Amino acid sequence: MNKDHFCEVVSKSMLNGDTALIEFRCPEIAQNAVPGQFVNVASSNFLRRPFGVASVDKDTGTFKVGIKIIGEGTEELASMEEGDGTWVLGPLGNGFDINGEKFILAGGGTGVFPVNFLYEKLSSEGKKVKVVQGFRDKSQIIMNDPSYILTTDAGDAGLKGNCCDGLNTLSDDDIKDAVVLCVGPMPMMRAVASWADSKGLKCSVSLEQRMACGIGICLVCTCKIKAEEEGIPFEHKRCCKDGPVFDSKEVIW
């Protein structure tokens, strides 16, 4: 299947000073993407830049990505406007296993974009979902919903503390038999994985590595994953092709 599509921007909004939400028209990606998958987006820079799919609309044939400006590529892509277009390769990678009935979603940083897609999909299927979002401070809050448990390190919005402090406010009923899905900065995912472990819950995380090809060829994005074979401490897996979603117990933090 050809996964490279020329996509037109159909809408763009700034969520805060440095983060844009861009909606592209692409019926193939809108139809086929599942939460946790990403797209590799071309700019005038040499390599494409990966972004988690934040939302899809199968009826209009559009999907959204959130782009936080941190360098040249993201600056150029976040400046795209309605009517502009670019090449987008996707959907790529393996998404989350969402076969259960009860989920706890934890998101931080740009991880709130894939968490948004997870929430849309799981709630549309009538599954039980609790969402915890963690931000540095009030100015960073994006993609928030009043039903979410919100935490800020600074304590200027929501509960003062980190994502795990938010998770600790969940009731025994919320926690029992839930599956934890987490996307965010590595220290946050590590802490959430440890929290899930302490409650005996299965947890999947989405690893973020620098990427180039996005399709498993260049080996730029390798990460250390526990080896299946006894006697070998770890093996290198390609984050783009074998992940980006992994069982948290397999990750060598």
Ligand X SMILES: Cc1cc2nc3c(=O)[nH]c(=O)nc-3n(C[C@H](O)[C@H](O)[C@H](O)COP(=O)(O)OP(=O)(O)OC[C@H]3O[C@@H](n4cnc5c(N)ncnc54)[C@H](O)[C@@H]3O)c2cc1C
Q: CA-to-CA distance for 45 and 20, rounded, in angstroms?
A: 19
Quick one: tokens of 23? 């909606």
Torsion, Cα of 23, 123, 242, 208 (10° steps): 60
Distance, in Å, from the CA atom of 30 to the CA atom of 188, rounded to the nearest integer, reads 29
Of the residues 61, 109, 185, 216, which one makes contact with ligand FES according to CB under 6 A: 216
The encoded tokens of residue 95 equal 């998404």
Question: Taking CB within 5 to 8 Å according to partner kind, which of ligand FES, ligand X, none is near residue 67?
Answer: ligand X
238 scored as a contact of ligand FES (CB under 6 A): yes
Site track 104-143 with ligand X (rule: CB under 6 A), x = hit: ------x--x------------------------------
* Sole binder of ligand X in the list 210, 230, 231, 232 (CB under 6 A): 210
d(CA 236, CA 229): 13
Residue in 70, 154, 186, 217 binding ligand FES, rule: CB under 6 A: 217
Assess 67 for contact with ligand X (CB under 6 A).
yes
Q: What is the dihedral of CA 161, 166, 167, 171, to 10 degrees?
A: 140
CA dihedral 228, 231, 233, 236 (to 10 degrees): -50
252 binds ligand FES (CB under 6 A): no
**SS3 label, residue 153:** coil
Piece of 14-22, 74-82, 110-118, 208-216 that binds ligand FES (CB under 6 A):
208-216
| Contact flag: residue 68 with ligand X (CB under 6 A) | yes
Cα–Cα distance measured from residue 248 to residue 224, given in angstroms and rounded to the nearest whole number: 12
71 binds ligand X (CB under 6 A): yes
CB under 6 A: which stretch of 26-34, 69-77, 144-152, 157-165 binds ligand X?
A: 69-77
Instruction: Compute the distance between CA of residue 45 and CA of residue 150 in angstroms, rounded to an integer.
Output: 36
Size of the site for ligand FES (CB under 6 A): 13
d(CA 78, CA 190): 29
**Residues contributing to the site for ligand FES (CB under 6 A):** 211-214, 216-221, 238, 240-241
**Residues contributing to the site for ligand X (CB under 6 A):** 38, 45, 49-52, 65-68, 70-74, 110, 113, 208-211, 244
